[in-house]
Each structure stands twice: as structure tokens, then as C-alpha cells.
Amino acid sequence: MPSAQGLFSCAALSKPPDPPKPMMTPRRIPRRLAAILAATLACAGLAAAAATPAPTTVRFSLDRRFDAAATPFLLAKARGLFRNEGINLEADAAASSQDAIEKVASGARDIAMADLTALIRYRNKPDAAPVKAVFVLFNRTPYAIVARKSRGITTLGDLESRTLGVPADDPTIRQWPVVARANGVDPAKVVIANIGAAVREPMLSAGQVDAVTTYSFTTPVNLRDRGLPAGDMILFRFADLGCVLYGHAVIVNPRFADEQGNAVKGFLRASLAGLKAALKDPARAIDEILPQMDGAARDLELERWRTIIRDNIVTDEVRRNGLGGIAADRFVAALEQIGATMKFTRQTALDDIFDEAFLPPPAARKL
């Protein structure tokens, strides 16, 4: 007889198999996977949203209508460099440097580009807000006088007994006496004619004045568009005549600087990248930003930008020290020249006017 063990084994072999478990239908698999996937994506989206801060809106003003002087900022905006820094840039134009400074001081704008000398004059007021510059764009002042050779002017001294057109609130005229005396010219012998800014070039072109105060990158370039021969113009750049003033700088509202310091640093990083790109390839930069300049002519703006690079941005000091900063000894000399036409009500130090804490590292600012 077979053993009990053998009987058990045979019985086990003869037992009918369990019925198969019902399989998931093809329709159930996608639904379950879809539910899992949807939950996973939702969690990932929430995590990403929590990890990515909302962009910081920066209200920025230029001290003039958009032209080539704004190239670094406009190029950075066109290439998305501010967006990459988490900044939503809102840019507009102020009426002047004084207007831009007042808007930043009041908090109507967060950051602006304005003449550093105008900022120093503003800070001398007893009720002035502690607005500071954080980056110097123009290492040399653009203050200048442009005259016509056909009116008998070939040297600075020839301005004596001639008529100099000066628009209202023109910053150049305030430093004119200092430059004139330093170069042996009696400013009292120059006839001053008060004119409107809008008619500065037309009046000089028509011979109604012999010369005008201006910026070195505005009237000389604009006049060529009016058909005035370049050979008939002579430009007296104050920076070539002993004037050590700095030019335009980026200024910041003090509260914004305190509360949004990272945004200020990001703004400067993006602006510096735009500046370096525009220095490397001026023609391409102007081509990219021209749509942001209402009715601007490409050739004129390209000439304007190249003039700014040569006369105001790329200087020996910048080649040595890099972009954006201020030399302490030169700042002291600039205060002396400003003080020759304005009485300081308080002692002014470099750190009253300029805060280098927001600057990109020195290596990044080298040309």
C-alpha cells in the first residue's frame, strides 16, 4: 500500500487549482496612474511655487527720454537680464536729473539714473532725504559747451563777448564759472541768453546764439541730424578743461535699499551685464534696443552711444579700477569744484553720497 505521505502528495496533485484572481482591466490602470500622477504633480507644483519667490517690482526712472545714454538698462531689459535676477522692471523717463532725484527721494521711484553732481547739490539741502548713489555709469561728466567756428569761435577765450544760450535749470552753467576761470576766461564777459531747451539746437543752427551749454553726447550729435557740418562745430568738454566731476550714476531710495537690498544688487548685476555687452558690441546693442526708443534714428543713437563710451565711460580710471566706483581723492577734488559755486551747509563725505556695498565684486567690474 502506498504510504500516507504518498497519498497526501497525490491528493495535493489531484486538487483543482484555485480560480484566477480577476485582473485589472486596461481602463482601471490609466485611471489609477493618472490619479497618482496628478497628485504627484500637484505636490511638485506647490513645492516649486513655495521655493520660487515672486519677482520684485523695481520702478526705475531715467533722467531723460530714452536714448543711447540708457543703453545698458534697455539692453538688460531686452535680454531678460532683470527677469533672471527676479526683477520686474518698470522703466520710464523723468524730466531731468533733479526730477529723477526728487522722485526717488519721495519714494515715487525706487531707482533712477541721475547726475551725481545734481545729487550732491540736492543732499546739501537741510530737508534732503538720504538718497545715495550705488553705481557710477559716467566716470567723466558730460558737461560741455558747443559753439560754431563760423561765428568766430575756435578757442574757449573766444566766448568772451559772444552769446551763450543757456536753457532753464541747465546744470552745465553752474560749473561754467569754475571752468572759465581755470582756463583764463572771464565768465562775466560772456553774454548769457536764457533759452528753452527745446530750441537749443535750432537757435544755434540758425545763428541766433553763438554757443550753447549742453551735454557732450546730445547737441553735437543732434546738430548733425539738422544738417550742420561737423567741421563748423567745436566742442569744449569740461572734463578736458580741468573739471574732475563724475557724471551720471544709479541712485536708490533709502528705504528701498534697506528693505530690498538683494533687488538693488540684482539690478546692478543685470545693468553691469548689459553695459559690458553694449561696450563689446555697440552696433548690436543699439539694434536690439531701438524699438524701446520712440522714433529714434539708428545711426544717430549708435553715434551717441559710441561718443558716451569714448568720452564718459571708458576712462583711464575705469581701466585701472573697474566700472561703477568712485576714487576717494578725486571725490574730494570734485567737492572743492562744486563748492566754488555753492556753499556747503554741512561737511560732506564720500559715504554720505555713495554706498559701495551694493556693487558687484571688483573682478566682475573690470573691463
C-alpha separations of 132 from 82, 108, 157, 232, 330 in Å: 21, 16, 37, 40, 18
Q: Phi and psi (nearest 5°) for 42?
A: -65, -45
| CATH topology agreement for domains 57-140+245-365 and 143-240 | yes
Any idea which fold 57-140+245-365 has? Answer: D-Maltodextrin-Binding Protein; domain 2 (3.40.190)
pLDDT tens string, the chain, 367 residues long: the values are: 344 333 333 333 344 445 555 444 444 445 555 555 555 555 545 444 445 679 999 999 999 999 999 999 999 999 999 999 999 999 999 999 999 999 999 999 999 999 999 999 999 999 999 999 999 999 999 999 999 999 999 999 999 999 999 999 899 999 999 999 999 999 999 999 999 999 999 999 999 999 999 999 999 999 987 778 889 999 999 999 999 999 999 999 999 999 999 999 999 999 999 999 999 999 999 999 999 998 899 999 999 999 999 999 999 999 999 999 999 999 999 999 999 999 999 899 999 999 999 999 999 999 9
160-179: b (≥16 Cβ within 10 Å) or e? eebbbbbbeebbbbbbbbbb
The pLDDT value given to residue 26: 43
**What's this model's pTM, rounded to 2 decimal places?**
0.85
Grid cell locating 153: 569761435
Residue range 143-240 in CATH 3.10.310.40: no
The pLDDT value given to residue 119: 98
The pLDDT value given to residue 48: 44
The pLDDT value given to residue 12: 38
Q: Phi and psi (nearest 5°) for 129?
A: -70, 150
The DSSP code for 295 is T
Taking Cα atoms as reference points, which of 250, 273, 249, 266 lies closest to residue 79? 273
Contact (Cβ atoms closer than 8 angstroms) between residue 157 and residue 273: no
Q: Residue ranges of the domains in the chain? A: 57-140+245-365, 143-240
